[in-house]
Structure 1
Amino acid sequence: MEIPISDLATRLDEALAAARDGEDVILTDGGLPVAKIGPVESTALLTRLAEEGVIAVPAADRAVPRLPQAEAAKDALSSLLGRLRR
């Protein structure tokens, strides 16, 4: 689908609906293509990378470990902020 930039304001809903449906929308200026609105494919990309073994999907029950150093740094930062607020 092509939409002149001058018509974009009035046809934005149409352009976004087309992008949601997986279609690229080409914006033109004087008949020349200048920009493209298209679907976001990040979910498909992450799925593909996981299937190819490039990335690993974390387990749903995986807890983020709390490191003693991180707790000590958090306490020190809280203490410093408390002193600065006085």
Structure 2
Amino acid sequence: MDVPVSTLRAELADWIDRVRRGEEVVVTDRGTPVARLIAVDSTPLLERLTREGVLGRPRRTARPTASGAPRARADRPVSELVGEQRR
């Protein structure tokens, strides 16, 4: 089933539900196919990729923290900074 990008954006939840039910969705941009949405069952996929050597198990199980790094502080509202970058 094909869906234009604009329709996909407007109705994303509905299209994701269709994919979960097993449908394959081809996303088009001005009539040209640009992406394919298919259901993914990540657990078997990760196990297969690990067996094939594409992925590896983490060496550490503890998650890293950002301790010791200085926190960035804005000297003015972030909206002003964003506005400047958009110009």
For Structure 1 versus Structure 2, the TM-score category normalised by the shorter chain is 0.3 to 0.5
- Higher Rg of the two aligned structures: 1
| TM-score normalised to structure 1 length | 0.46
Query: When you count helix as a share of all residues, which structure comes out higher?
Result: 1
